[in-house]
Structure 1
């Protein structure tokens, strides 16, 4: 198909079978802007624009500009077009991201008009932002001095400033930042593109504008388009509205190469802990390995990282764990840099073992080179990578979004953008090389004989975060002391003017600049997954017979009704243990390799499933999710049977290793999951289903695992017996329901095969076991070393006599994107905040990376007054309706449609139930919205809250809490 367009030169066209697209590469004649169009019949369209943005310091200027350009522009002069789009767009993706050397602005939508609107707003934002006329944008999104009264202490505030304080709250995040600094002393990668909090406050308005002026030019841009569209119309629009306003400009934005080191470096750094405990040292080995534009090398090294470190059979991880070096070992392969980084890290290492860490790595790698990587291990790793590439399951996101971001790994460095779209020849090449010593040569060249290498130790330091905060306060005190009375007064006036600016609503004219769809363009019919239910000899099957490209997705739902309380945390532990222990048919290493060879993946989960018609009732489920090519069906089912019915609990050392690994993984997620911890702990105080989740996978579960680990010698006999007892609940065929998502002609085959395995199990009636649950008041402060807080408040409105109404889904959008966004984020500097109203009756409000505690709780308490006074215009109601429907109509993939169907079937959710909620949403008016003020008021009057906070904020607000707990 001819794809020439006036104003552009078509440089190349190639059909790429892996993505079933004709890929056209254009150059804009005037500005030399680069455009890649992936022409496909897919209606799920993507647009993105990227700029090469290498920072020259750690002020976070690239990151702050990413936030700031979305705060108003030439055509769209609102204070926050991004949030206005979020309120009223049918987008399936709307975001921006800052990398160490580039900034990307991607959007996706399935609606043609919406896609055009989103593209227009984003292009106007990046090329014509209001930052040149409004220095308040830098003050809000980056940093500012905050002083409301002359006698108040001076403060730093700003969205990115606070975001990055939270971003470096965990030792892993501190470590990876310092690793990058150490490996690249002479290039842009030495700098922190997101911004180091101590450096962000050095960014001047002049440098901020200069960075945008230099890098945000069409001559430095990379535009991506994907999907079914009239490309001539789209490119003509981009040219006439945007690119034609610029002339070509030489932009010096190339990313320099770091010269390799002559000898490896040793670097020490520190992270904050609440109290001194032994063995909290992190030790890592890190290498710069090749260039990301070498796709075969990158896939080869990712396979190598997987087989060395990611499975129970991984020889390097196994050797380090067996040597007693650390509680957990993990790898990282960072390919978002021009020169990627290959890392091995051990957590909680004794000081006496830190040198041994490097010795074991060296010995193990030399042995693998000399003796060869076990063939079954290598073949399994290759199979995993091939399945991942072929499945192409992007979890509902536009394929084009992932393809476009993938092209940046080569295109941004002036290489062929199609390198990361092809993979067939690459897989064939690596398969052909697996017996030639290729992977052993990778170990030798890039790990053993590579002097561009940093050994880094990340030491714990008690109270480091408090010391940093004290240093910041003293710096602010000194700054204020150095000011004249006139300067102090000017700062107060600037702060007040800034606060007033934030309070002022956008003009109607500005609001109308954001285009909206018409109500009649929205689909009034709810999405509902396709499925049917069948029985086979007493076993229930929930089947979604759809095209799956010859992949069988099989989910086993195991009913935990009747399981005694004491077994619940042990079932949670089995989530992390199954497939990692010996079985009657395999030792755990051989089992791991068999899984890689025959399956595309296996996951274990434990979860409650609310009965939305009865808030006191819920299902307790253990879920096994597997996927494999249909030709591997028998092996797929055999492996599941082996894991679920033949696992052995005799190897105590192995069980202890897994417990340490589980504890480590949960600890690594604490700092990034603080909001979830806060609201989950809160909900568990009044919701039996949430209490079950808390016991089996929440913070309470983590504390159980940590206690077992710390007292292993005394507890091991009891733990082993409890694990065996919990495992026995999988032996009853009556507990199983099977979910199948597979091509229709293979359904019977899948049913027969899974039933044959289940038929070997005993049948025993399930005895209902009512676990007594008593609600309790919660005003809890959870103390964790870090620099920010996560503040959650809520209760269950059904317990207070109120019913669920679909309009609450729309109110969630209003509160999250208006009241909470403005009060918690914009005015008070938290990075995020949102509301949730669940069909179970659970209601909560939570903030993310928040500098405040009491102030945020007070903001929540004022929500009923805000809701009671709502008087939205027809346009505003339509805007929120569009955004709410967008969040509900996320496109299914084969696996997500099947799983959603299975959950709906299990809890009895019907299409009529879903449609009723949608009807409520379409019929919402101001009166209905205002009626929600009363249940919210009653919920907040319960005064229940949980704060996951830092070692400074919780003690400072001690009077707020009935209980505090150090984590």
Structure 2
């Protein structure tokens, strides 16, 4: 129902069936600010404000401002309102994102008061930030010269500076940056909005402020609202407290269009490796393809990218891999730009195969145009897209959040913001066009005959990160030498003043400016997932009878008890192989097409599930997750049992292709997951469950895959035999537990169908012998070719005689949001740092994109003193209680509720167990928190740590490590 609101003009109001919302588009009368309200009865509300922010250079000013406006404002004059909100809000989302041409500040919450508070803090931050009063914000969040005495070397420090050093540690990120730079030489996309490390240090305070003053104005804003709101009240608040304080101001923020090239270009750049690997090229073919506002074209090209490159049956992927061109071939379709980029990439390509990469692309695409794309491939891809759109499962995030961000693909370019909220007509049109040569036409126009394209090669350079670091070091040394005594002392004084400002706590009244819910407004009762257990033919079913709109979420949990240690890495390999190999019923290409045609998705995972009520025990499971519409149930069951009962490992060439693909995918995730690698290796030294994870999906597993790949020519028969042995685990019905999430009336027919599949398996007893675990002391440096570090330290407190208590979860919030945030991030320039205390007893602290090693370990060692002296006020206690509960009360979707229930049932976790933890959190006092200091002290006295870091940092701290390893 449309609402006229004083101070605004309602320009458009329309019910959109696909999202079940009435979409109201307003314009603020005074400033011309744009407001889009997606109106419905959803209590999970969303607010967002975006600005068009095209960068004029690569200093990263849009990104640094994104960080900086959240460091204090007019109403909320403390140093870090963002972290204060994170400590004490019931938000389900709280973040900000910098894109190449826009910056978005979205929040969501299910609590009305909390939603209003978050909206108020974010609006005040973007319109009235303290950056104009305080230049130390730029020094902290962007970059600064750091020097504490005359003899010390001059350094660069800053949160975004270190974040982007980490971001460009991976060859993939280097490649994407250079691709964008090369395809758009004349417009804003040539610049790096996140900031290139070498350019960030050129950003002046004056340019920093000028950028905010120009672009962060209501006349350049795009405000989104979603959910069950009193829209008149909300819009009145936004006008009264914010928009009415401004006059209309024309803002020149238009995103220009890059003129197409007359001729395709070739570009070469470099990435860092730790040892000489001369043949490991990354090669790509990249085309500018239309405009993002053409949604039919975007979905069509997205489907085409999926068809060509994303499945085992994809003809272009198959053609590239069959010729041995690289270890993996994949696609990327970037639609977050006005002019999207379609990329075809191959990784670890031999120099002598580089030319052939482009020839195969040309030959394969030309053949598809002439002979036509197989209909089964197109039908499957269309079904996958339709299922994704209709299911609308946003994994617990507010639908409004994702829909608001989606509107930016058209709204930001002055087109109808509802384009990306509709899909019915679009799907009908694409289905109708699939037999008319439409998709073949896309190949011809945008991929074969497109001169607005580049061929990109990324070549390895040994020790490039060290070369860059040395160059920066020399540059800083020359800058220091150029300073006279007076200038040098001025910078020392500035550094010391900065340090002091970081250590000066906020005034109490500034902290109290952040609004806070009351303790009694919090729900003391846990939100336990709904389920019941049933049994058929000795197989246990864990059933969540939840409305799923006819979608069947079916999970097979396969017990891995008694599996020998040597088989575990091979089970890990099966995660990446199942559904990609031939079976008795299907060639692997046909299997892939059948999965796309009949299912909404299939996934494979291995998990170690801790049994918290039984010390030192855990359940090892292999999980097969599927989802499909109920009318495809028969095919869903049939496909699962074809995969777990009929897979063949006889095609050695195909097995080898998948091994190379797995290796490639793991390598691509290394730099982004450095913190996980560091703490996983650490925990595996003293935790059997974490050691299991290392064997099946961690660094040990990655090294095993690399070894198998390197030794394939001599050991392939042994590898195949080991894969078959591991696969035989699936043949035993006794190992199966079934998880089923579906509408109540569909439970019985689903169980009957599943039984038909299980009846194909024999039941035999399960061995109970556990694999042997030998703890080892971890003081390890893992060297990778990057520019930052990830520092993990910890141990298991239960092994030292301490018990778990729910209050540890509150302490996790306190340490992550206060002590570690201030010491590791704010004062010492890491991008992030957090603590974790698990019910298993595993305790660890880890930093993310950290310039330091020894300094961070020293900060960890001071944790017990900090905890021992905790004396929180009642306000602080409530604040941390809220922040802790917020992390526990993420809203369920049907699939996440069902899966959570299944995991709880498998490890015998009851509602009483979860409620006990929640009660302990609510009853936590200062005395409770201080009592944890001794456990932390004893854990840290074990002096166990792992650093995933760059060669220079590891070498400079060599005395800290018992072992160092090149990754």
TM over 0.5: yes
Deviation at 1:776, TM superposition (A): 1.1
Conserved? CA contact 1:39–1:226, under 8 Å: yes
Q: Distance in 1 between matches of 2:608 and 2:739?
A: 17
Runs (4 or more) in structure 1 with deviation over 3 Å come to none
Conserved? CA contact 2:663–2:702, under 8 Å: yes
Aligned to 1:773: 773
Deviation at 1:614, TM superposition (A): 2.6
Which secondary structure does the structure 1 equivalent of 2:694 belong to? Answer: helix
Q: Distance in 1 between matches of 2:55 and 2:615?
A: 52
The CA deviation string for residues 614-659 of structure 1, in whole angstroms up to 9 with x for no partner, is: 3311111000000001100000000000000000010000000000
Conserved? CA contact 1:615–1:841, under 8 Å: no
Q: Distance in 1 between matches of 2:582 and 2:310?
A: 18
Which secondary structure does the structure 1 equivalent of 2:677 belong to? Answer: helix
Conserved? CA contact 2:563–2:771, under 8 Å: no
TM-score (normalised: structure 1): 1.00
Mean CA deviation greater in 634-643 or 614-623: 614-623
Which secondary structure does the structure 2 equivalent of 1:755 belong to? Answer: helix
Aligned to 1:37: 37
Deviation at 1:744, TM superposition (A): 0.4
Matches within 5 A, 1:410-429: 410-429=410-429
The CA deviation string for residues 649-708 of structure 1, in whole angstroms up to 9 with x for no partner, is: 100000000000000000000000000000000000000000000000000000000000
The CA deviation string for residues 560-619 of structure 1, in whole angstroms up to 9 with x for no partner, is: 001111111000000000000000000000000000000000000011001112331111
Aligned to 1:938: 938
Aligned to 1:822: 822
Aligned to 1:472: 472
Q: Does 1:902 align with 2:902?
A: yes
- What number of residue pairs does the alignment pair up? 967
TM-score (normalised: structure 2): 1.00
Any gaps of 5 or more consecutive residues in structure 1? Answer: none
Deviation at 1:446, TM superposition (A): 0.4
Deviation at 1:794, TM superposition (A): 0.3
Q: Distance in 2 between matches of 1:38 and 1:624?
A: 36
Conserved? CA contact 1:578–1:643, under 8 Å: yes
Q: Does 1:868 align with 2:872?
A: no
Conserved? CA contact 2:788–2:851, under 8 Å: yes
The CA deviation string for residues 534-574 of structure 1, in whole angstroms up to 9 with x for no partner, is: 00010000000010011000000000001111111000000
Which secondary structure does the structure 2 equivalent of 1:113 belong to? Answer: helix
Conserved? CA contact 1:733–1:761, under 8 Å: yes
Conserved? CA contact 1:583–1:646, under 8 Å: yes
Matches within 5 A, 1:832-843: 832-843=832-843
Aligned to 2:210: 210
Conserved? CA contact 2:8–2:26, under 8 Å: yes
Aligned to 1:27: 27
Any gaps of 5 or more consecutive residues in structure 2? Answer: none
Q: Does 1:126 align with 2:120?
A: no
The CA deviation string for residues 853-902 of structure 1, in whole angstroms up to 9 with x for no partner, is: 00000000000000000000000000000111111000000000000000
Q: Distance in 2 between matches of 1:72 and 1:323?
A: 57
Q: Distance in 2 between matches of 1:140 and 1:170?
A: 25
Deviation at 1:772, TM superposition (A): 2.2
Conserved? CA contact 2:2–2:24, under 8 Å: no
Deviation at 1:277, TM superposition (A): 1.8
Aligned to 2:303: 303
Q: Distance in 2 between matches of 1:524 and 1:378?
A: 50
Deviation at 1:279, TM superposition (A): 2.5
Conserved? CA contact 2:675–2:790, under 8 Å: yes
The CA deviation string for residues 181-214 of structure 1, in whole angstroms up to 9 with x for no partner, is: 0000000000000000000000000000000000
Which secondary structure does the structure 2 equivalent of 1:830 belong to? Answer: coil
Q: Distance in 1 between matches of 2:109 and 2:434?
A: 41
Conserved? CA contact 1:830–1:849, under 8 Å: yes
RMSD (CA atoms):
0.5
Aligned to 1:504: 504
Q: Does 1:877 align with 2:883?
A: no
The CA deviation string for residues 894-947 of structure 1, in whole angstroms up to 9 with x for no partner, is: 000000000000000000000000000000110000000000000000000000
Q: Distance in 1 between matches of 2:29 and 2:159?
A: 39
Aligned to 1:440: 440
Aligned to 1:851: 851
Matches within 5 A, 1:458-469: 458-469=458-469
The CA deviation string for residues 13-57 of structure 1, in whole angstroms up to 9 with x for no partner, is: 010001100000000000000000000100000000000000000
Aligned to 2:537: 537
Q: Distance in 2 between matches of 1:23 and 1:228?
A: 13
Conserved? CA contact 2:2–2:13, under 8 Å: no
Q: Distance in 2 between matches of 1:62 and 1:301?
A: 29
Which secondary structure does the structure 2 equivalent of 1:955 belong to? Answer: helix
Q: Distance in 2 between matches of 1:329 and 1:613?
A: 45
Matches within 5 A, 1:781-800: 781-800=781-800
Q: Does 1:714 align with 2:694?
A: no
The CA deviation string for residues 753-772 of structure 1, in whole angstroms up to 9 with x for no partner, is: 00111011111001101222
Q: Distance in 2 between matches of 1:912 and 1:878?
A: 23
Aligned to 1:599: 599
Q: Distance in 2 between matches of 1:763 and 1:541?
A: 16
Q: Distance in 1 between matches of 2:39 and 2:479?
A: 57
Which secondary structure does the structure 1 equivalent of 2:628 belong to? Answer: strand
Matches within 5 A, 1:538-553: 538-553=538-553
Q: Distance in 1 between matches of 2:492 and 2:590?
A: 68
Q: Distance in 2 between matches of 1:405 and 1:783?
A: 37
Q: Distance in 2 between matches of 1:683 and 1:828?
A: 25
Deviation at 1:82, TM superposition (A): 0.1
Deviation at 1:278, TM superposition (A): 4.2
Matches within 5 A, 1:251-330: 251-330=251-330
Aligned to 2:754: 754
Q: Distance in 1 between matches of 2:237 and 2:106?
A: 18
Aligned to 2:408: 408
Which secondary structure does the structure 2 equivalent of 1:952 belong to? Answer: helix
Which secondary structure does the structure 2 equivalent of 1:42 belong to? Answer: coil
Which secondary structure does the structure 2 equivalent of 1:794 belong to? Answer: strand
